[in-house]
Chains A and B, each alone.
Chain A
Amino acid sequence: MTNFLQAVVNGFGQGSIYALLALGFVMIYKATRVISFAQPALMVVGGLVTYHASAVLGLPFFVAMIVGIIGGALVGMIVERLALRPMIGKPVFTLAIITIGVDTVLRTLNNRYIGVESRIVTYPNGNARYELGGVSISHQDLGLIAITAVTVTAMSLFFRYSRTGLAMRATALDQETALAQGIRVGAIFALAWGIAGGLAAIAGTFIAAGPAGMEQTSWIIALKALPAIIIGGLDSLPGAVIGGLSVGLVEALTAIYQPDVAPWLGRNFSLVAPYALMLLVLLVRPYGLFGTKEVERV
């Protein structure tokens, strides 16, 4: 039982990272109907800006993280302006492939910065752990879960009550009608990419603060947000959070139980378990758990 609870706690920690990334994917998808494959690179950019601010410039962790968020948001906006704005109105598939190209370029530059060593951001008091009934959680995971909860709440309040949030919802519903109401749709696109870049930067910061730090191969973590958004449904913000957390949980639980229960699945199956879960969910619900079913006009 303790094992199980510990796995759940670990899963929530890792799941928060996926949830943040998934929120970014869904933000961009809702605004522009594009899945951004540049998210992994943006995550690494954010993590590296935080690293540079904290380890090289010597800023405290949370200040450095804010610098990282701003950096990630700026890079996201630049990508949108340079690579995606000229393509408005083109097929979404083309845009998705453009983001793959952007990702390749950004990732090479990131790897240039990272080099061979892993870049580790030190979280204040990160190794100390809270204990409760045999289950323990590190300060860092607790901070991550808290920050994710705050971010998600802030985002939902922003969409619900602010004028800009309303404009974003209107754009997601119908771009032309939104344009006719005087909403600057271009600015909304930039904002969506900015928010997505910022969210990815938080995720990147906590990956850099994690046990392995930010390495050349860390970008692959961000791709696990893809099963998360598919499970939750591409256009659902609550779905993204739930999807992200469930991917984290599934990963943690398979890591503990799969070697004993189903050893024939091979070593490290937990790393690909989210993709298997995604296939299962899609076989039952082709638009994810909370996604809107596409209506076909003939």
Chain B
Amino acid sequence: MSITGLRGRPLVRTAYAQDMALLDSPAKRKSTLLIVLGSFLLPFMLTDDLLLILTLGMISAVGAIGLNLVTGYAGQVSLGHAFFIGVGAYTAAIIGGDPEGPVVGYGLPIYLWLPAAGIVAALAGLVVGPIAVRLRGLYLAIVTLGLVFLGDHIFREARSLTGGPGVGRRGPDLTAFGIDFSTTNTVLGVELAREQLQFMLALVFLVIFAILGRNIARSGVGRAFSAVRDRDVAASVIGVDLTKYKIMAFAMSSFFAGVTGALYYAVIGFFEPAAFGLTLSITYLAMVLIGGVATISGSIMGAIFVTALGRISGGIAGIIPGISQNAGSGGFISVFQLESILYGLLIVVFLIFEPRGLFGIWNRIRLYWKGFPFSY
């Protein structure tokens, strides 16, 4: 029996394994393949500034998937994501950074600093885990918020590692498989600009981590997370070890956050301790909520959308009169202010009108066409 359906009827399921398959229908398999392959063509069609936004969006998506694991799937509200991203970013910058620079750096290659960033962040998550086990709901949210402030203080004060506020430091060198991703380079006989190279790298990592996230979510671990989220008492009654799975959720999500931190600031190139404040945590929470809670594809959509928000509000500012292009006064409101207002409003509007986020919108469109022409 083939794993996909029954005698030419692909949507008929005869085993649980089919229901839990990574891509559970032929349409999904085809469209996902098409999207991934199509994405590799994007660098040849878009301008460099758009590519950079998409690159950063895809890297952020890795972190958003991580936050979705702990907050969406396991139901543990975390406002501390910025701290773990910071831990990852600094671990990578220290291990992979310039040895001759003003701050500590060992100049080691990417296959050391990238896993190390994830692992050190995951260890930080393990430390937070036991506190999370004792707390529930909003108490946990506020404690993780405290973590961001304490982390911010540590990043500010560890000047030999982070450069300190107002100074900052460089990220790790982005060189992998003998290709330097920070300059124009010839790969397989094709000359590619920096943005094109970085886009491809980010896409590869996003595919790897999206599959990893999806696999965690659809495995026994993911089901245990959902049980903890839906009713922790019931979960412990049916034999889910609450302590173990809450700590696992934090460690896994922190691993994703650490990888994001490492890659993001390797692409950006330069960063300060102030980057890892509460705003960053809220940004990631917004990605998860706008994208869709407890969905991997939603996390990716949300991350790219939120990252592109600056660009989008810039576009809107060009249409609406009375919006000034510079940061100072003049006009009714500036572009940057419009961006942060839009961002706040989007969170509110999505939660009120479309609690399932972009994924929910996509799902409704899909169901409409699936039942077409009897879509009611």
Instruction: Tell whether A pairs with B.
Output: yes
The interface of chain A, by Cβ under 8 A from chain B, is 35, 83, 86-87, 90, 92-94, 96-98, 100-105, 107-109, 111-112, 115, 223, 226-227, 229-230, 234, 265-269, 271-272, 275-276, 278-279, 282-283, 286-287, 294, 296, 298
**A102-B344 contact in complex given A96-B138, A269-B153, C-beta closer than 8 Å:** yes
**A112-B333 contact in complex given A230-B139, A234-B139, C-beta closer than 8 Å:** yes
B77 within 8 A of A: yes
Is the pair B136, A97 in contact by a Cβ cutoff of 8 Å? no
Type the 1/0 row for B149-163, where 1 means its CB is closer than 8 Å to any CB of A.
Answer: 110111011000000
Knowing that A98-B347, A272-B152, A282-B134 touch, tell me 17 more A-B residue pairs with CB under 8 angstroms: A97-B285, A97-B351, A101-B345, A101-B351, A102-B348, A108-B340, A112-B337, A230-B139, A265-B157, A266-B154, A266-B156, A267-B157, A268-B153, A271-B153, A276-B150, A283-B134, A296-B233
**A96-B141 contact in complex given A105-B341, A266-B156, A272-B153, C-beta closer than 8 Å:** yes
Is the pair B341, A286 in contact by a Cβ cutoff of 8 Å? no
Task: Name the A residues within 8 Å of B285 (CB-CB).
Answer: 97, 100
The minimal Cβ–Cβ distance linking A176 to chain B, given in whole angstroms, is 21
Closest residue of chain A to B355, judged by CB?
A: A94
Q: In chain B between 146 and 182, which residues have their CB closer than 8 angstroms to a CB of chain A? A: 146-147, 149-150, 152-154, 156-157
The minimal Cβ–Cβ distance linking B80 to chain A, given in whole angstroms, is 11
Chosen A-B contacts, 20 in total, with CB atoms closer than 8 Å, are A83-B348, A83-B352, A87-B351, A93-B141, A96-B138, A105-B340, A105-B348, A108-B340, A108-B344, A111-B337, A227-B142, A230-B142, A234-B139, A269-B153, A275-B147, A275-B149, A275-B150, A279-B150, A282-B134, A294-B136
Closest residue of chain A to B237, judged by CB?
A: A298
Q: In chain B between 333 and 376, which residues have their CB closer than 8 angstroms to a CB of chain A? A: 333, 337, 340-341, 343-348, 351-352, 355
**A282-B156 contact in complex given A90-B355, A92-B138, A104-B341, C-beta closer than 8 Å:** no
**A226-B145 contact in complex given A92-B137, A266-B157, A279-B131, C-beta closer than 8 Å:** yes
Task: Name the B residues within 8 Å of A268 (CB-CB).
Answer: 153, 156
| Pick from A35, A98, A266: contact of B351, CB under 8 Å | A98
Task: Name the B residues within 8 Å of A96 (CB-CB).
Answer: 77, 138, 141
Closest residue of chain A to B154, judged by CB?
A: A266
Is the pair B347, A230 in contact by a Cβ cutoff of 8 Å? no
Task: Name the A residues within 8 Å of B242 (CB-CB).
Answer: none
Is the pair B348, A279 in contact by a Cβ cutoff of 8 Å? no
Is the pair A35, B135 in contact by a Cβ cutoff of 8 Å? no
CA distance A282 to B152 in the complex (A): 20
| Pick from B149, B153, B156, B233: contact of A298, CB under 8 Å | B233
The minimal Cβ–Cβ distance linking A112 to chain B, given in whole angstroms, is 6
8 closest Cβ pairs, A-B complex: A104-B344, A266-B157, A101-B347, A275-B146, A105-B344, A101-B348, A272-B153, A101-B344
Closest residue of chain A to B352, judged by CB?
A: A86
B216 within 8 A of A: no
Task: Name the A residues within 8 Å of B240 (CB-CB).
Answer: none
The minimal Cβ–Cβ distance linking B61 to chain A, given in whole angstroms, is 19
The minimal Cβ–Cβ distance linking A87 to chain B, given in whole angstroms, is 6
B289 within 8 A of A: yes
Task: Name the A residues within 8 Å of B348 (CB-CB).
Answer: 83, 98, 101-102, 105
| Pick from B138, B146, B152: contact of A93, CB under 8 Å | B138
CA distance A108 to B279 in the complex (A): 13
Is the pair A104, B131 in contact by a Cβ cutoff of 8 Å? no
CA distance A86 to B352 in the complex (A): 7
The minimal Cβ–Cβ distance linking A189 to chain B, given in whole angstroms, is 16
Is the pair B143, A279 in contact by a Cβ cutoff of 8 Å? yes
Is the pair B329, A115 in contact by a Cβ cutoff of 8 Å? yes
B108 within 8 A of A: no
The minimal Cβ–Cβ distance linking B178 to chain A, given in whole angstroms, is 41
Task: Name the A residues within 8 Å of B192 (CB-CB).
Answer: none
**A108-B347 contact in complex given A83-B352, A226-B142, A234-B138, C-beta closer than 8 Å:** no
CA distance A223 to B79 in the complex (A): 13
Is the pair A35, B237 in contact by a Cβ cutoff of 8 Å? no
**A104-B340 contact in complex given A275-B149, A282-B135, A298-B237, C-beta closer than 8 Å:** yes
